[in-house]
């Protein structure tokens, strides 16, 4: 190691080393562990992908993950994935997990998002009514090697910038800046007290954020529009868009098939009665996973309607219900999303979650990784209309939520947005994992940045090949659409 690199290693200087006693020893032990991992996996070898694994078949692997999905929605998923390489990438976290599992790994652990691509970041309102930028999808969360999330993020930069038509030099620069932002941020967090890491967040309305991310005037206006739209998307907005009063003055969901279908249009009368009873049980039992004060709030609402809602790309075909709850008056509306939680795609390759259910795994992972979580975030397991017991997690459908349309990003906005994602991912990993060891492994040089940028370019080539095979299968009718 170069002298200049050792001089500022986490655990050997700065605030973390300034305290006396056991914490200094612990920090140094963690830093030594991180540096020792370089002998197991050199930083240049982060470029290794694992796509040459025997029997790799992108179409078969996509279909294998759909066995328990709703058959009438699977064609919607296929059509969305066939639309572009970026859409295909969004829907293939499982395929990439298999590839990453076939490559060497650091063994430096954190709570992974599990699907940390560009589109799985966004803004949302905290319980304290601050607009935060953070990760927003945790369906695949699990403890695992930190670099799996970083590789998924950096590769998504390469895939997205190709969709935007950026030249290779600009794409490489964007990937390098993303990897560098993650590395420098996690090194910063490694020097902070644990409590300060826990308090760290990215306030989307901070006036200094524009300068911090290097946004030009156009990108700054785009960011402000995003935050303004998000704060307008509250309970009233959701109620106005998705519901109406019926002839009895009761609020109901408005059908918009196949994207939003009330349960009474999906099931016969008897099955719908049973299903509504199960959903009522879910609402009643879900509140038990909340803090007592939030349980008190939840008890002031009653369930009046249920509908199935199609969400995302990778999630299409899972059971995602929206629950319409009303308080003392018809304009006191709360719309929750109850989304089926299945096993993480990472669980085939990593240690299984210690949580009792997949719903609990998602919620506890989200609470650990996010700077602040939804007021009503909880979980429950109930019987479905088909008699199968399923795990769900529950959250508000819309409450100051917004996201960037990655495929419509202006070229000058790519790097600032990617840096915001990388900083956020580093903060999440620092909260949940071996931040000092990870920082020491990555070091102060750009070796890992270069390797991750090479990985991104190589993996994006594979994504384009896989997408072409999948899109052809859809066009030929070999895969339903």
Q: Are residues 388 and 424 in the same domain?
A: no
pLDDT at 7: 42
Half-sphere exposure (CA, 13 Å, Cβ side) for 203?
9
Token pair in block for residue 141: 């969360």
List Cβ neighbours of 240 (8 Å cut-off, separation of 6 or more).
none
Q: CA-CA distance, 406 to 163, in Å (whole number)?
A: 9
Question: What value does the mean pLDDT take over residues 418-446?
Answer: 97
pLDDT surpassing 90 at residue 134: yes
Distances (CA, A) of 348 to 65, 175, 352, 365, 371: 12, 28, 8, 18, 28
Residue 407, domain member (yes or no): no
Residue 422, domain member (yes or no): yes
Residue 403, domain member (yes or no): no
Note down the domain range covering 36: 30-229+414-475
Which of 230-239, 309-318, 338-347 is predicted least confidently? 230-239
Radius of gyration of the chain (CA): 23
pLDDT surpassing 90 at residue 79: yes
**Of 471, 52, 404, nearest in space to 225 by CA:** 404
Q: Are residues 284 and 427 in the same domain?
A: no
pLDDT surpassing 70 at residue 9: no
Find out whether 309 and 260 touch, Cβ atoms under 8 Å.
Answer: yes
pLDDT at 13: 42
pLDDT surpassing 80 at residue 46: yes
Q: Are residues 339 and 272 in the same domain?
A: yes
Residue 336, domain member (yes or no): yes
pTM across the whole model: 0.90
Q: Are residues 72 and 197 in the same domain?
A: yes
Q: CA-CA distance, 239 to 243, in Å (whole number)?
A: 5
DSSP class of residue 256?
B
DSSP class of residue 407?
G
pLDDT at 10: 57
| Separation of CA 144 from chain center | 15
pLDDT at 17: 38
Q: Are residues 208 and 355 in the same domain?
A: no
Q: Are residues 323 and 222 in the same domain?
A: no
Residue 289, domain member (yes or no): yes
Q: CA-CA distance, 101 to 49, in Å (whole number)?
A: 9
Q: CA-CA distance, 10 to 133, in Å (whole number)?
A: 26
pLDDT-based confidence at residue 6 (cuts at 50, 70, 90):
very low
Question: What value does the mean pLDDT take over residues 303-328?
Answer: 87
Question: What value does the mean pLDDT take over residues 451-478?
Answer: 97
Q: Are residues 384 and 261 in the same domain?
A: yes
Question: What value does the mean pLDDT take over residues 68-86?
Answer: 92
pLDDT surpassing 50 at residue 329: yes
Q: Are residues 225 and 373 in the same domain?
A: no
Q: What percent of the chain has pLDDT over 70?
A: 90
Into how many domains does the chain fold?
2
Which pLDDT tens digit goes with each residue over 366-420?
999 999 888 999 999 987 667 788 999 999 887 677 788 888 888 888 898 999 9
Q: What percent of the chain has pLDDT over 90?
A: 64
Residue 355, domain member (yes or no): yes
pLDDT surpassing 90 at residue 210: no
Q: Are residues 313 and 381 in the same domain?
A: yes
Q: CA-CA distance, 302 to 334, in Å (whole number)?
A: 9
What is the H or E stretch that residue 436 is in? helix 435-442
Domain boundary among 344, 364, 396: 396
Question: What value does the mean pLDDT take over residues 68-89?
Answer: 92
Residue 279, domain member (yes or no): yes
Which pLDDT tens digit goes with each residue over 265-313?
998 998 888 888 888 988 988 988 899 999 999 999 999 999 999 877 7
Q: Are residues 444 and 352 in the same domain?
A: no
Q: Are residues 191 and 49 in the same domain?
A: yes
**Contacts for 347-350: CB closer than 8 Å, 24+ residues apart:** 347/142, 348/97, 348/98, 348/101, 349/97, 349/98, 349/100, 349/101, 350/101, 350/142, 350/143, 350/144
Q: Are residues 188 and 246 in the same domain?
A: no
pLDDT-based confidence at residue 166 (cuts at 50, 70, 90):
very high
pLDDT surpassing 50 at residue 19: no
pLDDT surpassing 50 at residue 222: yes
Residue 70, domain member (yes or no): yes
Domain boundary among 367, 396, 425: 396
């Amino acid at each position: 190691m170069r002298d200049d690199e050792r001089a500022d290693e986490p655990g050997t200087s700065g605030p973390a080393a300034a305290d006396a006693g056991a914490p200094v020893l612990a920090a140094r032990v963690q830093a030594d562990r991180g540096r020792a991992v370089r002998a197991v996996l050199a930083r240049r070898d982060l470029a290794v992908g694992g796509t040459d694994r025997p029997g790799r078949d992108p179409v078969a692997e996509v279909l294998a993950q759909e066995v328990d999905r709703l058959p009438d929605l699977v064609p919607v998923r296929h059509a969305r994935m066939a639309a572009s390489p970026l859409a295909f990438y969004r829907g293939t976290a499982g395929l990439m997990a298999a590839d990453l599992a076939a490559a060497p790994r650091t063994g430096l652990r954190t709570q992974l998002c599990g699907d940390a691509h560009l589109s799985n970041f966004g803004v949302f309102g905290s319980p304290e009514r601050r607009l935060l930028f953070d990760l927003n999808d945790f369906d695949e969360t699990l403890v695992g090697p930190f670099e799996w999330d970083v590789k998924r993020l950096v590769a998504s930069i390469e895939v997205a910038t190709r969709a935007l038509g950026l030249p290779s030099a600009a794409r490489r620069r964007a990937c390098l800046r993303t990897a560098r932002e993650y590395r420098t941020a996690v090194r910063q967090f490694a020097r902070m007290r644990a409590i300060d890491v826990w308090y760290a967040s990215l306030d989307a309305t901070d006036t200094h954020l524009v300068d911090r991310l290097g946004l030009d005037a156009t990108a700054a206006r785009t960011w402000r529009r995003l935050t303004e739209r998000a704060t307008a998307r509250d309970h009233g907005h959701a109620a106005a868009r998705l519901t109406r009063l019926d002839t009895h003055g009761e609020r109901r969901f408005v059908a918009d098939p196949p994207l939003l279908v009330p349960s009474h249009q999906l099931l016969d009368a008897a099955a719908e009665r049973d299903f509504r009873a199960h959903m009522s049980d879910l609402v009643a039992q879900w509140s038990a996973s909340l803090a007592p004060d939030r349980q008190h709030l939840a008890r002031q609402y009653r369930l009046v309607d249920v509908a199935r809602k199609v969400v995302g790309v990778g999630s299409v075909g899972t059971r995602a219900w929206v629950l319409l709850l009303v308080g003392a008056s018809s304009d006191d509306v709360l719309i929750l999303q109850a989304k089926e939680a299945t096993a993480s795609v990472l669980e085939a390759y990593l240690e299984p979650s210690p949580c009792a259910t997949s719903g609990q795994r998602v919620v506890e992972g989200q609470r650990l990784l996010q700077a602040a979580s939804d007021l009503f975030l909880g979980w429950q397991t109930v019987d479905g209309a088909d008699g199968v017991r399923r795990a769900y997690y529950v959250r508000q459908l819309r409450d100051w939520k917004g996201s960037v349309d990655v495929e419509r990003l202006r070229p000058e906005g790519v790097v600032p947005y990617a840096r915001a994602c990388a900083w956020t991912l580093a903060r999440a990993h620092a909260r949940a994992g071996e931040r000092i060891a990870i920082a020491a492994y990555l070091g102060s040089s750009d070796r890992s940045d270069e390797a991750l940028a090479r990985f991104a370019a190589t993996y994006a080539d594979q994504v384009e090949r896989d997408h072409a095979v999948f899109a052809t299968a859809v066009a030929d009718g070999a895969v339903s659409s």
